[in-house]
Structure 1
Amino acid sequence: MTSFFNPKFSKDFPLILNNDNYDTIIQVGENEDIKEFRAHSVILRARSPYFEGALSSSWVKKENDMIIFNKPNITPNVFEMILRYIYTGELNLEEQLSEDIFRLLIASDELLFEELISFLQEYILEQRQNWVDKEFFLVFYTVRKLANCELLQNYCFKTISNFDRDIYHDLLKREELLIKEIVAWNYLIIWGIEQTSGLGSLNCDRNKRNNEDYEALKETLHEFIPLIRFTNITFDDFNNKVRPYKNIIPNQIYEEIEEFYNKGTTPKIILPPRMGKFDSKIIKPKLAKIIIEWINIEDFWISRYNFIPIYRGSIDGISNKSFINKCKGQVGSLVLIKVNYSNKIFGGYSSIGFNSIENSLLRIYEDNHRFYHSSNNFIFSLENDEDTQNMKISRVINYDKAIYDHPHNGFNFGYNAFFMTENHCIINNYSCNYENNIRTDTIYSIEEIETFIITEL
């Protein structure tokens, strides 16, 4: 026979939260709003798949057998709620500001607390419906599980007509929204009909609308339609849900859509796919879009990508060891480097990763040098964090020597084409394994370095 003593357990277990026998210090927040929390790694790992991975030896640093972990993107108030939830299963939202509950929603998604996400969904719908505004929509479509929540989507359909013009325009401009583009189009049509005199509930039958109705709707939406990423709408959805509104779409845009579907022509006016969240201290999102286009020329106009940050020198330390610990493995990765005493930025993309790559890709040459094969690696240089005119790209030309794996380098493209050695980077390409158009003889000291895993959404 099994007995359960949950009340006693629930009363005693929270005492561990304030126990001195901790082995983990978590630093959260940034700028002036920073706080340290003490915790127990075994409990964090047991309660969260995120912490199970994050607290592995390759992700964190240790000082005197104490795990030190940084989460600057979560505020102290939000993390305090999360920590109490982890240890006690309790969550009190009654006195919390809406912005902190939104932040809690985002943090719960990142830390993989599905139970907490489900609870917050219901809480918002039942208790705080008046929050459904611009801020809610931004959170709603940047939290991947919420973007697929049919219950919340249906509620949003009912409230979207209340948005004013500037708010809705700002939402559609955002790159980080996870919304499906056909859903963005559907929302836009619903909103536009409600905002157009003579349409809406009084003229809800599309078949009864005349040319004057469509001209009025076109006038209402003329600023918004160019913000739709039409190439991310499937051909079937285009035929069924976009084509019926052909008369409200500017001629140049509509012609480009049809050319794209029928001939695969690269659009010139239509905006490229939304990129997803991009958190870099080194370059602006518009440069990241160009890099994505370099990575995947053929599928750029139909695919969406996600940048997952795994290493930042200002947080994790700038050294070969810290880079290798954070960035090892066979996975498509982007490295960015801002150098000291200059606006220059250097970077490289490797479809196979940088080091500790699986042996199936290994090529062994003389003196036991280890090289890895890739046909689509490249390195590049930028003059500053937003200049698109002077970007230079150098693609791999000797595929069997795309990556050189050496213990004294954090990473090494093509046997010294572009490599990191402790807190310096060098771009000389003496081995000529990459195109020879960004070679320099300067040894640059690294001001900041970031690495991202790039995945398709």
Structure 2
Amino acid sequence: MSTNFYDRLSADFSGILESGIDYNVIIEVGEAPSNQRFKTHSLILQSRSSYFEIKLNETMLNDDNIKIIYLPEISVENFEIIIKYIYSGNISIEKTDTSSIFDILLASNKFGLDELIKYFQSYLIENNASWLRLNFSKIHQISTQENNFKLLREFCNYIIPKSPNTLFESRDFTTLSEKVLISILERDDLQMDESEIWDHIIRWGKGQHPNFPTNLNDWSDDDFLILKNTLHQCIPLIRYFSISGEDIFKKLLPYQQLFERQLWADILSKNLTSVSFKLLPPRKYKTTKFSPRNKISIDSVIITEEHALEIGSWIDKKDSPYINENPYDFQLIFRGSTDGFECINFYDNCDGISQTILVLKVKNTGEILGGYNSLVWDKYAEPYFKNDDAFIFSLKTEKQHESILSRAISGLYTIYNYNDRVGFCEDLCLHNNFNTGNSCCCSKSGYEKCIRNSTEYFSVEECEVFKVIKKKSVGQN
């Protein structure tokens, strides 16, 4: 039988650090004049950190028989957290901002502190996913460069195909390395219109040359040649025959000088049966073909075209439903009977996607309930978030003569983002397996009114989610 007394051991070693008794290593951290010296002990440093083991062997003793290590690139506050961990095994980051936590992760990697590397990756993903998305280019690039950042790399690889805007629209996108950018462009599963990808590639290329004239009309032939050389490995990776003729002339024609003559000729004649340049096939973009504008074709076993017209009018905040022409296409991205009724099945199909309509049919009653979320579903985000544009509804059926619309109350939490539940807070909540066990509910929380008379829990007969896509030009009623 063995008994561990780690708390006392941790406290005693913390005392050694604080007192500095018998120190033989000074670590000077930060830049003057705010730099600070920490009195430490080589035996502890070497046993806890592979970096310090090597560094101490390389560092000579000074006249006082002390070794001095300089770390100007690390802040005093961040190093204090790390050195306390090295001595005691404890960390405290309650008052530390997210940017500093990421810097501590980088420092932990520098010092070879495997335990902290894994901990801080998990912490950032579980608690600060929104910050990771905002700095996505930087995070993605670092995660691909550092072998130890497996969890961040998996986080990025999960998000990129479903929500490439997270990468392309991040504030540091133009700092992305060419190698990483090419690895993204080579993917077949980017869920983004090809003309938008082209826009971002041009923006990245211009970002490498900030002195280019702002107005394209002021560009010289040399400017175009420089950009062409910058993008020479990216240009062949665009799927040109997926770009509409309108966008070819609107977006590509102004940059005609970037293309080799034969490639440009093939782009212009992309609808012909034969082209010379080797064009890549379209990406596996999840899309649904729709009928002509005066007809609405919906791949649904729950809602009708009439329902879609009514939902479209609610999105646009119209006083009366659209009659003939719906300004939105409804692209099916999830169906419970084919994809599964667990919350994990929902996130497998809907995570990272915005502008969605969720509809469901209540088992045994035939009620059709649903909701609209204009923001991104994000299983890595906070469990609750606010969306003042969201609304929930109960659609008219044979038993219910009028639909019920209930809009979000401004400032209240209105969306669930849990691993085991999803929906519109308690006002329309799907929990665990929503096909069995009566685990779903409707009550009043963050919306104007209830959408069903009963507050009893229920199961779902069928559930569907649609990506709502604004049509480019549709006359509205």
Under a length normalisation based on structure 2, what TM-score does the superposition of the two structures give? 0.40
Higher share of residues assigned strand = 1
**TM-score relative to the length of structure 1:** 0.42
